[in-house]
C-alpha cells in the first residue's frame, strides 16, 4: 500500500470516486465524453498549477497573484499579433512566452528592489498587467488562426491535444522537481531559506527563475485558452488565481513550501472539474458546487495539519 | 525635533491622497464642489470598510483572500433577507461574523496557513451568495438607501462617512486595550503570551472584527448600488490588501493604522477618477492603482533608508 | 557554604538542581538562595550554566532533580507563580512589542492592573518607571518602540521590569542589562539597583563587565561547568580573582599548535570590520573566534559568507562553505533525507546536464559517512531521525564536501558529545594540513587551543589577537571581560 502513502494519492482516489459517481448517474453513457472533457479543462489548471507549484515550493509567503493578469495579457496580445494568420503561430507563441518572462522578471525585481513580500509585489504588478490587457483588448474580436483553433479543440487517438501538451509539461516539471539540481535547490530554499543560503545555494538566482517559469507557464496557458475559446476575453484568467493555488494544495503539496509533488496537480485539476460535473449531473447549481469546493480545500489543509501533528513528536 | 519615521510613515498615505486630489482639482476645477466630491468618492465607503476588515486580519500577521467574496455575500444577504425579513437577515449576518471568529480560532489552534483557509472560504461565501441571488437583483432596505444617500450640509456623505469610520476603527485599534493586544500579537506573540494574555482570544477577536467590518462593507455597497450580485465585490480582496499596505500597514509585525488604511482606500478609489480627468483611458484605472502602490512602497523604502543612514550617523 | 548567613529567610532558593539537555549537563547540582536586600552577581564563561539557572529561577525550566522553594513554600514553580511572587526578568533578546508605543507595552506587560482610563495610567506608569531608574532619559512614552534606539529600548525594558504595577517587583533578574547602554546610563541603572536592594528588593545581575559586578553586587556567585565554584561576598573578590575563579585549574594543552605559520603569511581573505581588528585568514590555517557568546562572532561569519557566496549564479567551485551552529534555523533541511542534506553543497559537481547523477551522489555521501562516522543504517532516512550530534556531523560533512578552500564554522559543536568532538578535531587538523583554511567560532575555550590564531570578540569587534603559545584560557578570559585592567592585558 505504498501508493496510498503518497501525498498525491488522495486527490487521485477522490477523482476516481467522483468520476464513478457521475458515470453511475448516466448509466455509463457518457463515460468517454466526460473523461475527454475533464482532461481538456483540467489541462489549463495543470499548466498554471505547475508554475504556481514551483513558486509555492519556495516557502511561506511565496505565491504568484499575477497569473490571471498574465494569462489575459498573453492571450490578448498573441491573438492580436497572429491576427488570424496561420503563418504567425510561432511568433504568437513566442510573444506569449516573452510576456510571461517579462512579468516574471518584474515580479522578482519588485520583491528584491522594494524588499516587499511576494504577495504584495505580484499583486501590485498584476494590477498593471491587467490594465495593459484591458487596454489592448478593447473592442477586440480577433479570432485565433484556423489551424490553432482546430488544434486546441482537437484530439489525438482520442486524447485531447491540450491534455497531451499539459502531459508533456508535467513530465518536464516532474524531471525538474525530482531529478534536476535546480529542483533540489528550489526545494531546499522552501524548507529553510537561511539554511539553503548557508549551504551555498544561490537563492536569488533560483527564486528569480521560479518566478519566471511560473509566469511563462501562465503566458502559455493564456495563449492556449484564448485559442481554445475562440478569442481572448477580459476575465478569461479570473478563476485561475484560485484554481492555481487550489490544485497545488489539494494535490498534496505543502503550502509551507519545500515539499511538492507533480502528480497531485493532475489529480486535483481533474477532481475540481469532475466535482462540478457530478453536481451538475445530480442537478445541483453553481452555489453548492462552489461551497463544496471550498469545504474540500479547507478539509485538505486541516487533514494535512493533523497528519503533520502525528509525526511531529518523533 | 525632527519628525520621527512613524510620523512620516503615517503621513505618506495622506500625501499620496492629497497629491492625487490636487491633480484632479487642477485638471478639473469643477470637481472641487459638493457634487464633484460626492461623485469622486462614490464607492469609497464600502472599499474603506473592506480595507479596515482586511486590516484586522493583517494586524495578527494573517491574510484574508476571501474578503471580496465575503463582502459580496453580505451584500446579497442585505439585498434579500435583510430587506424582506430583517430579523432573519440580521441573524444571518451575525452568524457570519461568528463564522469569522471561529475561523480565527481554528487557524490559531491548528496553526493553519490563513491564506489557504480563506481561499477555501472564498469559494464557500461565493457559493452561498450565488444560492441566495442566482442572478443580479434584490433591493436595498429603505433605511439603508436613505442612510447612504443622505446629503449632510457642507461635507459630502462619502467623505463624512469615511471620517467617521476611520475614527471608529481608530478607537478600536489604537485606543482600546483589545486593539493593543491584537497589535501586540502581531508584533511579538510570545511576549504577549508570556505576560498572561490569551493569544487565542486576541486572534478570534481580530477575525470577528474583520467579519463585522466586512458585513458593514456589504451593507454600504448595497445602500449605494440598490441591488446586489454575488460577484459584486470580488475585486475587494486585492483592493483591500493594497489599501492596508498603502495606508502604512506592514504585512507582518502588527504595524497597521486605521486612519491610514482609510486614506489608502480613498486613494485607490480616487485613482480611477483621476485618470478620466487626465483623459486617459479608464482601462488604466486598475493599473494606476498598482502603480500608486508600487510608488508608495518605493517612497517608503527610500524614507526608511534615509532614516537608517541618519540613525547610523 | 555562604560564609555570612543571613537572619532573614530566603525569598527564593534552589537546592541541588540538576538539568541535562541530551548529552550535555547544564546544571550539575546547583544550590543557591536569594535573600531580600541583596544583589547577587552571577558570572561565568559560556556554557557555565548561567542562563539555565536563570530559566530555573524564573520558572521557564523545571530541574530534573532538586527543589525550588519560594517564600518558604515548595509548591508549583512556573512562569505564572513566578510572576505572582513579584519576579521580573530582563533578557538580552528584547521582549517588547516593537510596533507598540512604550505606554502600550506597559499595558501589555502589566495585565490586569489598569482601569478604563488605561491610556493615561499606562503613560504615567511608563514615565514614572523611566524617571525612577533613568532620570533625564528623554524618552517619549508615546513613541513606538521600533523608532527608539537600541539603548533606549533596553532602558524601557529595564524600567518596566522595576515598575510598581499592582504588585511590586521583589526579585529582578537582569541578563547583561548594560550591553547597549553608555557608561552614564549604565551608572544610573547600577545606582538604581543599589537603591532597590537597600529598600529590601533582590536583584540577580549577570554582566560581562566585571567592574560593574564588583561595584554593584553584594555577593558574587561564580559558575563553571554547571556548578557553583565560588560564592562569597563581593568585597572579598578582585577582578583578577574573578577571572581566575572562572578558569580551570592548570590543565594541559591537549595538542601543540602547528608551527611555521606564526610568521607573516599572505592572507587568503581579510574581513574588515567597522571597529576593532580586521580578521585575517591564510590558507591552511585554523583561525579561532572567541569571547562571550553574542558579541559579534556570528555576525562576522555571516558577513564574510555573504561577501564570498554568490547570490545569483552559483559557480562550479564554491569559494566558501559554512557550518551552522543554530542548526534548526540555518542548518538542516528538515524534510530531506540524510543524503540530500549532505550533498546540497556539492550539487554542481554532481550534475550531468543539469540532472543529479544519483549514483555519484550516493557514492560521495557514502564516502563521507564512513569518513566522519555518521551513525545511521541508511542515508536515505530522514535527517531528523539522527541524534543532534549526528545531525551536526552531517552539517560538518556538508561543508567539507563542497571542496571550498575556506570553511566557516559558527560554533558547530555546541551540545555534541566528547567522542564526536575528538573525531571532528582530527578531521579539521587533517583538512587544514591539506591546505584548507578554517574560521572557527566556538563558545568553548578549550577548542581555541586547537587553533593557530585566535581573535577575541567583545561588543561587536575583535579586541585581541592571540597567536601560538599566547592562546590560553587566561588570556581569552581576560580579553572577554571588559574592565580597566583587562584592557591593558588585551
The span from the CA of B99 to the CA of B207, in Å, is 9
Flag whether B38 is in a domain: yes
Flag whether C310 is in a domain: yes
Measured in degrees and rounded to the nearest 5, phi and psi for residue A114 equal -90, -5
Neighbours of chain B (3+ CB pairs under 8 A): A, C
Measured in degrees and rounded to the nearest 5, phi and psi for residue C20 equal -125, 140
- Three-class DSSP category at C92: coil
The span from the CA of C213 to the CA of A43, in Å, is 71
DSSP secondary structure of chain A? -HHHHSTTHHHHHHHHHHHHHHHHHTTTTTHHHHHHHHHHHHHHHHHHHHHHHHHHHT-TT---TTHHHHHHHHHHHHHHHHTT-GGGHHHHHHHHHHHHHHHHHHHHHHHHHTT--HHHHHHHHHHHHHHHHHHHHTT--PPPPHHHHHHHH-EETTEEHHHHHHHHHHHHHHHHHHTBHHHHHHHHHHH-HHHHHHTT--HHHHHHHHHHHHHHHHHHHHHHHHHHTTS--TTTTTTHHHHHHHHHHHTT--TTSS---SHHHHHHHHHHHHHHHHHHHTT--HHHHHHHHHHHHHHHHHHHHHHHHHHHT-
Closest to C50 (Cα-Cα) out of C207, C247, C243: C207
C331 to chain A, minimum CA–CA distance in Å? 5
C345 and A CB contact within 8 Å = yes
pLDDT tens digits for B60-88? Answer: 999 999 999 999 999 999 999 999 999 99
Flag whether C56 is in a domain: yes
Residues of chain C with pLDDT under 50: 1-6, 249-257, 259-262, 484-490
C441/C342 same-domain check: no
**C80 vs B contacts (CB less than 8 Å):** 196
Flag whether B309 is in a domain: no
C459/C338 same-domain check: no
A111 and B CB contact within 8 Å = no
User: Is C308 exposed, middle or buried, given 0-12, 13-18 or 19+ CB atoms closer than 10 A?
Assistant: middle
User: Among all residues of chain B, which has the CA nearest to that of C104?
Assistant: B180
Flag whether A75 is in a domain: yes
In this complex, the residue of C83, C99, C111 whose CB is nearest that of residue B183 is: C99
Chain C interface, Cβ < 8 Å to B: 79-80, 83, 95-100, 104, 107-112, 114, 118-119, 143-144, 146-147, 149
**C121 vs B contacts (CB less than 8 Å):** none
Flag whether C188 is in a domain: yes
Per the structure, how many domains does chain C have?
3
The span from the CA of B271 to the CA of B290, in Å, is 10
Q: What is the CA angle A208-A214-A215, rounded to 5? A: 90
C227/C281 same-domain check: no
C30/C165 same-domain check: yes
Flag whether C259 is in a domain: yes
User: Is A304 exposed, middle or buried, given 0-12, 13-18 or 19+ CB atoms closer than 10 A?
Assistant: buried
pLDDT tens digits for C5-45? Answer: 445 688 899 989 998 876 667 888 899 999 999 999 998 87
The span from the CA of B258 to the CA of B243, in Å, is 10
Flag whether C341 is in a domain: yes
pLDDT tens digits for B155-180? Answer: 888 889 999 999 999 999 988 999 99
C398/C420 same-domain check: no
The span from the CA of C163 to the CA of A265, in Å, is 57
Residue A241: domain span:
2-19+29-304
> How many B-C residue pairs are in contact by the CB < 8 A criterion?
62
Per the structure, how many domains does chain A have?
1
C295/C342 same-domain check: no
Task: Kindly report the average pLDDT of chain B as a whole number.
Answer: 88
Measured in degrees and rounded to the nearest 5, phi and psi for residue C472 equal -150, 160
State the CATH number of the domain containing residue C140: 3.40.50.300
Q: Which residues of B37-76 are buried (b: 16+ CB within 10 A; e: fewer)?
A: bbebbbebbbbbbbbbbbbbbbbbbbbbbbbbbbbbbbbb
pLDDT tens digits for B95-108? Answer: 999 999 999 999 99
Measured in degrees and rounded to the nearest 5, phi and psi for residue B66 equal -110, 5
Q: Report pLDDT for C292.
A: 83
pLDDT tens digits for A190-216? Answer: 999 999 999 999 999 999 999 999 999
C64/C26 same-domain check: yes
Q: Report pLDDT for C4.
A: 46
End position of a domain, from candidates C246, C263, C280? C246
State the CATH number of the domain containing residue A236: 1.10.3470
Q: Report pLDDT for C250.
A: 41
C411/C398 same-domain check: no
B200 within 8 A of B108, measured Cβ to Cβ: yes
Flag whether A37 is in a domain: yes
Flag whether C61 is in a domain: yes
Flag whether C5 is in a domain: no
C99/C187 same-domain check: yes
C241/C260 same-domain check: no
End position of a domain, from candidates C246, C265, C296? C246
Contact A200 C335 (CB under 8 A): no
Contact B290 A287 (CB under 8 A): no
In this complex, the residue of A115, A127, A294 whose CB is nearest that of residue B127 is: A294
The span from the CA of B254 to the CA of B183, in Å, is 5
C103/C120 same-domain check: yes
Chain B interface, Cβ < 8 Å to C: 4-6, 175, 177, 180-181, 183-184, 186-188, 190-192, 194-197, 253-255, 311
Distances (CA, A) of B270 to A288, B39, B291, C364: 37, 10, 13, 62
C306/C198 same-domain check: no
* Pick among B128, B234, B275, B294 to test the A interface (most A CBs inside 10 A): B294
Closest to B12 (Cα-Cα) out of B253, B239, B303, B308: B303
Flag whether B310 is in a domain: no
B4 to chain C, minimum CA–CA distance in Å? 7
The span from the CA of A159 to the CA of A166, in Å, is 12
The span from the CA of C139 to the CA of C123, in Å, is 12
Flag whether C287 is in a domain: yes
C375 within 8 A of C393, measured Cβ to Cβ: no
* Helix B142-149 vs helix B199-225: crossing angle, to nearest 10: 90
Contact C97 B175 (CB under 8 A): no
Starting at the edge strand found earlier in the chain, the sheet holding C219-224 runs: C87-90, C171-175, C202-206, C39-43, C219-224, C227-233
Flag whether A310 is in a domain: no
The span from the CA of C223 to the CA of B156, in Å, is 72
Flag whether A313 is in a domain: no
Beta-carbon contacts of C447 under 8 Å, excluding residues fewer than 6 positions away, are: C288, C413, C425, C440
- Three-class DSSP category at C436: coil
In this complex, the residue of C345, C356, C385 whose CB is nearest that of residue A199 is: C345
Residues of chain A with pLDDT under 50: 309-314
The span from the CA of C149 to the CA of C139, in Å, is 10
Residue B242: domain span:
5-304
Q: Report pLDDT for C337.
A: 93
Q: What is the pTM of this model?
A: 0.86
pLDDT tens digits for B127-158? Answer: 999 999 999 988 999 999 998 888 888 888 88
C360 and A CB contact within 8 Å = no
Per the structure, how many domains does chain B have?
1
Contact A288 B288 (CB under 8 A): no
Q: Report pLDDT for C68.
A: 87
Residue C95: domain span:
12-246
C289 within 8 A of C441, measured Cβ to Cβ: yes
Amino acid at each position: 500500500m505504498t501508493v496510498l502513502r503518497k501525498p498525491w494519492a488522495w486527490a487521485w482516489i477522490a477523482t476516481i470516486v467522483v468520476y464513478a459517481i457521475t458515470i453511475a448517474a448516466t448509466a455509463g453513457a457518457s463515460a468517454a465524453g466526460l473523461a475527454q472533457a475533464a482532461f481538456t479543462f483540467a489541462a489549463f489548471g495543470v499548466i498554471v498549477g505547475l508554475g504556481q507549484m514551483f513558486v509555492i515550493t519556495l516557502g511561506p509567503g511565496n505565491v504568484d497573484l499575477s497569473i490571471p493578469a498574465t494569462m489575459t495579457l498573453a492571450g490578448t496580445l498573441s491573438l492580436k499579433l497572429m491576427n488570424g494568420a496561420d503563418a504567425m503561430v510561432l511568433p504568437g507563441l513566442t510573444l506569449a512566452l516573452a510576456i510571461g518572462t517579462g512579468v516574471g522578471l518584474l515580479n522578482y525585481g519588485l520583491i528584491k528592489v522594494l524588499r516587499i513580500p511576494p504577495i504584495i509585489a505580484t499583486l501590485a504588478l498584476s494590477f498593471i498587467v491587467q490594465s495593459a490587457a484591458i487596454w489592448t483588448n478593447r473592442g477586440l474580436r480577433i479570432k485565433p488562426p484556423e489551424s490553432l483553433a482546430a488544434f486546441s479543440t482537437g484530439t489525438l487517438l482520442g486524447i485531447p491535444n491540450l491534455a497531451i501538451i499539459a502531459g508533456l509539461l508535467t513530465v518536464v516539471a516532474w524531471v525538474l522537481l525530482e531529478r534536476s539540481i535546480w529542483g533540489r535547490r528550489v526545494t531546499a530554499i522552501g524548507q529553510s531559506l537561511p539554511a539553503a543560503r548557508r549551504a551555498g545555494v544561490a537563492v536569488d538566482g533560483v527564486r528569480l527563475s521560479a518566478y519566471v517559469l511560473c509566469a511563462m507557464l501562465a503566458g502559455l496557458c493564456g495563449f492556449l485558452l484564448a485559442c481554445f475559446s475562440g478569442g481572448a476575453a477580459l476575465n478569461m484568467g479570473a478563476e485561475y488565481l484560485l484554481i492555481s493555488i487550489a490544485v497545488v494544495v489539494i494535490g498534496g503539496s505543502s503550502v509551507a513550501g519545500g515539499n511538492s509533488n507533480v502528480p497531485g496537480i493532475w489529480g486535483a485539476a481533474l477532481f475540481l472539474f469532475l466535482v462540478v460535473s457530478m453536481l451538475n449531473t445530480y442537478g445541483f447549481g453553481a452555489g453548492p458546487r462552489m461551497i463544496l469546493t471550498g469545504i474540500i480545500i479547507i478539509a485538505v489543509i486541516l487533514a494535512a495539519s493533523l497528519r503533520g501533528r502525528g509525526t511531529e513528536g518523533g | 525635533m525632527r519628525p520621527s519615521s512613524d510620523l512620516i510613515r503615517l503621513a505618506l498615505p495622506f500625501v499620496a491622497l492629497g497629491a492625487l486630489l490636487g491633480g484632479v482639482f487642477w485638471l478639473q476645477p469643477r470637481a472641487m464642489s459638493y457634487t464633484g466630491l460626492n461623485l469622486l468618492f462614490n464607492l469609497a465607503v464600502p472599499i474603506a470598510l473592506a480595507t479596515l476588515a482586511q486590516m484586522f486580519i493583517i494586524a495578527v500577521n494573517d491574510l484574508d483572500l476571501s474578503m471580496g467574496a465575503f463582502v459580496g455575500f453580505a451584500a446579497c444577504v442585505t439585498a434579500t433577507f435583510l430587506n424582506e425579513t430583517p430579523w432573519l437577515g440580521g441573524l444571518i449576518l451575525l452568524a457570519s461574523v461568528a463564522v469569522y471568529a471561529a475561523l480565527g480560532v481554528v487557524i490559531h489552534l491548528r496553526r493553519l496557513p490563513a491564506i489557504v483557509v480563506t481561499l477555501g472560504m472564498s469559494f464557500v461565501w461565493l457559493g452561498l451568495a450565488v444560492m441566495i441571488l442566482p442572478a443580479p437583483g434584490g433591493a436595498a432596505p429603505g433605511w439603508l438607501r436613505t442612510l447612504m444617500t443622505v446629503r449632510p450640509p457642507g461635507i459630502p456623505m462619502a467623505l463624512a462617512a469615511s471620517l467617521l469610520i476611520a475614527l471608529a476603527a481608530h478607537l478600536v485599534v489604537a485606543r482600546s486595550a483589545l486593539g493593543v493586544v491584537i497589535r501586540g500579537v502581531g508584533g511579538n506573540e510570545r511576549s504577549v503570551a508570556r505576560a498572561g494574555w490569551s493569544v487565542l482570544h486576541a486572534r478570534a477577536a481580530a477575525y470577528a472584527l474583520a467579519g463585522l467590518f466586512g458585513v458593514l462593507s456589504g451593507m454600504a455597497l448595497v445602500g449605494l448600488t440598490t441591488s446586489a450580485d454575488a460577484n459584486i465585490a470580488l475585486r475587494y480582496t486585492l483592493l483591500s490588501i493594497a489599501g492596508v499596505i498603502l495606508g502604512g500597514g506592514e504585512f507582518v509585525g502588527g504595524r497597521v493604522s486605521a486612519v491610514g488604511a482609510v486614506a489608502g482606500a480613498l486613494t485607490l478609489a480616487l485613482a480611477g477618477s483621476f485618470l478620466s480627468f487626465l483623459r486617459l483611458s479608464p482601462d488604466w484605472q486598475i493599473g494606476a492603482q498598482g502603480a500608486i502602490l508600487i510608488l508608495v512602497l518605493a517612497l517608503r523604502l527610500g524614507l526608511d533608508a534615509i532614516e537608517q543612514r541618519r540613525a547610523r550617523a | 557554604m555562604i560564609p555570612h548567613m543571613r537572619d532573614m529567610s530566603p525569598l527564593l532558593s534552589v537546592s541541588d538542581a540538576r538539568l541535562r539537555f541530551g548529552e550535555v549537563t547544564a546544571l550539575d547540582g546547583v544550590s543557591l538562595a536569594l535573600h531580600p536586600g541583596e544583589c547577587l552577581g552571577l558570572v561565568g564563561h559560556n556554557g557555565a550554566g548561567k542562563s539555565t539557572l536563570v530559566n530555573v529561577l524564573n520558572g521557564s525550566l523545571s530541574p530534573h532533580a532538586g527543589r525550588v522553594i519560594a517564600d518558604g513554600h515548595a509548591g508549583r514553580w512556573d512562569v505564572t507563580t513566578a510572576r505572582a511572587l513579584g519576579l521580573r526578568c530582563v533578557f538580552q533578546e528584547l521582549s517588547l512589542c516593537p510596533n507598540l508605543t512604550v505606554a502600550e507595552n506597559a499595558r501589555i506587560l502589566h495585565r490586569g492592573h489598569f482601569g478604563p482610563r488605561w491610556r493615561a495610567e499606562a503613560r504615567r506608569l511608563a514615565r514614572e518607571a523611566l524617571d525612577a531608574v533613568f532620570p533625564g532619559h528623554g524618552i517619549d512614552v508615546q513613541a513606538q518602540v521600533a523608532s527608539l534606539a537600541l539603548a533606549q529600548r533596553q532602558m524601557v525594558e529595564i524600567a518596566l521590569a522595576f515598575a510598581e504595577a499592582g504588585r511590586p517587583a521583589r526579585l529582578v533578574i537582569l541578563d547583561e542589562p548594560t550591553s547597549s547602554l553608555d557608561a552614564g546610563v549604565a551608572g544610573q541603572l547600577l545606582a538604581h539597583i543599589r537603591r532597590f536592594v537597600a529598600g529590601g528588593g533582590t536583584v540577580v545581575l549577570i554582566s560581562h563587565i566585571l567592574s560593574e559586578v564588583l561595584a554593584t553586587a553584594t555577593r558574587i556567585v561564580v559558575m563553571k561547568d554547571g556548578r557553583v565554584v565560588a560564592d562569597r561576598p563581593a568585597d572579598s573578590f578582585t577582578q583578577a580573582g574573578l577571572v581566575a575563579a572562572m578558569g580551570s585549574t592548570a590543565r594541559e594543552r591537549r595538542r601543540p599548535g602547528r608551527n611555521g605559520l606564526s610568521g607573516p603569511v599572505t592572507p587568503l581573505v581579510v574581513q574588515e570590520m567597522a571597529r576593532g581588528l580586521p580578521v585575517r585568514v591564510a590558507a591552511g590555517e585554523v583561525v579561532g573566534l572567541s569571547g562571550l557568546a553574542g558579541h559579534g562572532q556570528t555576525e562576522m561569519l555571516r558577513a564574510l559568507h555573504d561577501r564570498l557566496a554568490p547570490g545569483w549564479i552559483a559557480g562550479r567551485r564554491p569559494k566558501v562553505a559554512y557550518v551552522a551552529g543554530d542548526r534548526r534555523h540555518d542548518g538542516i533541511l528538515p524534510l530531506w533525507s540524510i543524503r540530500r542534506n549532505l550533498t546540497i553543497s556539492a550539487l554542481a559537481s554532481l550534475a550531468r546536464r543539469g540532472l543529479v547523477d544519483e549514483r555519484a551522489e550516493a557514492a560521495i555521501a557514502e564516502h563521507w559517512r564512513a569518513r566522519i562516522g555518521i551513525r545511521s543504517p541508511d542515508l536515505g532516512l530522514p535527517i531528523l531521525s539522527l541524534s543532534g550530534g549526528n545531525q551536526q556531523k552531517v552539517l560538518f560533512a556538508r561543508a567539507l564536501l563542497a571542496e571550498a578552500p575556506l570553511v566557516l564554522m559558527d560554533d558547530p559543536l555546541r551540545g555534541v558529545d566528547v567522542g564526536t568532538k575528538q573525531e571532528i578535531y582530527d578531521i579539521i587538523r587533517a583538512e587544514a594540513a591539506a591546505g584548507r583554511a578554517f574560521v572557527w567560532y566556538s563558545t568553548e575555550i578549550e577548542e581555541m587551543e586547537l587553533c593557530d590564531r585566535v581573535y577575541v570578540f567583545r561588543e561587536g569587534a575583535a579586541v585581541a589577537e592571540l597567536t601560538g603559545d599566547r592562546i590560553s584560557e587566561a588570556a581569552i578570559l581576560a580579553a572577554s571581560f571588559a574592565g580597566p585592567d583587562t584592557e591593558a592585558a588585551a
